Each structure stands twice: as structure tokens, then as C-alpha cells.
Amino acid sequence: MKSDIHPKYYKDAKTTCSCGAEFAIGATREKLTIETCSQCHPVYTGKKKIVDSTGRVERFKKLAAKTKKTKGTRKDVKSKEQKKAAKIEKQEKVTA
């Protein structure tokens, strides 16, 4: 086996979260910067948090609101009963 191929292990590596929390963990780097930790992640805190820097969430919400308003207003959409009635009428015309 080759010797000295593993990286150096730091038992007390300083980890800093974007929320400002700092703690020590074992890692192969001396300093780590992370985006979410157990103090700010929605799974652990139970708080809803949406990080949106490009405006995609707002765009999605606008689109969802727009489709919600227009839902059921299309004239070309028919219910199952209307489709069955149209199919029966068509068959009656063909057989007559």
C-alpha cells in the first residue's frame, strides 16, 4: 500500500454558516464555509425560508396565480358527460 496518500485530518475544523453560526467539526480542511446548518435549515427549525436571488419564485407564483384565474374558463374544455353526449350524438348521426 502507498503511504502518505490521505489528506490531513483536522479534528477541530472551524465551520462558519451563512446565518452566522460557528462550530467545530472534523474535516480535511482547516476552515469551512457552508450555506445552511442545523440552526437555520427549515427541516430542523420548522420555518419556511425561500432564498431567491434571480426572481424565479416570484415568476412561478405569478404564473400559478394566472393559471388559477383562468382555470375552468376555457371554452374548448368539456366535461366527461359532455364528451359522452357528443360521442352518442355522432354515433346516432352515422347510423341514421
Domain enclosing residue 2, as ranges: 1-48
What cell numbers appear for 59 in the block? 415568476
46-70: average pLDDT? 77
In this prediction the pTM is 0.44
Q: Is residue 56 part of a domain?
A: no
Q: Is residue 92 part of a domain?
A: no
Return the CATH number at 42: 4.10.80.400
| Total tally of structural domains belonging to the chain | 1
pLDDT at 11: 94
Whole-angstrom Cα distance, residue 7 to residue 14? 17
Query: What average pLDDT does the chain have?
Result: 83
Q: What are phi and psi of 76, to 5 degrees?
A: -80, -5
Q: Is residue 41 part of a domain?
A: yes
Q: Is residue 38 part of a domain?
A: yes
Whole-angstrom Cα distance, residue 72 to residue 95? 34
